[in-house]
Amino acid sequence: MPSTVHRDPSPSRREIVRTLVWSAFAIGAMLVAGIAAAASGNPSAAQARYEQDRAACISGHTNQDRATCLQEAGAALQEARKRGSTGNGQAQYEQNQLLRCDGLPAPDREDCLRRMRGEGTVSGSAQGGGIYRELRTTVPAK
């Protein structure tokens, strides 16, 4: 008489982890694509991305409950529209550079603004852990 093997139909821990990882990856890819559409400044691209995200939410192909998924898709669309209306990304980048100096006392702030505008030397990189900006100023002895 052949022996019968009964397999538990519940997924193994490994299968659950694999599903969670792929779901997180898919959600991240959707969000990155939404941000990329926003950066392109193309409202129709952002709307198309929203429709794709919404379809994934409704079909249940994400690791989130439907309400949360739809809320995040809507927030990504809103952010894309907001970024698209601001115009030039370079201007925003330069404005952000100058905002870094706002919290400093007046004498230090002026030196910081000069460094942000490109005076002095720059070394390092964001990938390497940081950008070092140096501006040497000669102060006469008293």
Encode pLDDT of 13-55 as tens digits: 777 777 776 776 667 666 666 555 555 555 577 888 888 888 8
What pTM was computed for the model?
0.37
At 111, is the secondary structure helix, strand, or coil?
helix
Least confident range from 54-58, 86-90, 126-130: namely 86-90
The helix/strand count (H/E) of the chain reads as 5, 2
Positive/negative CA dihedral, 130, 32, 94, 113: negative
pLDDT number for residue 7: 60
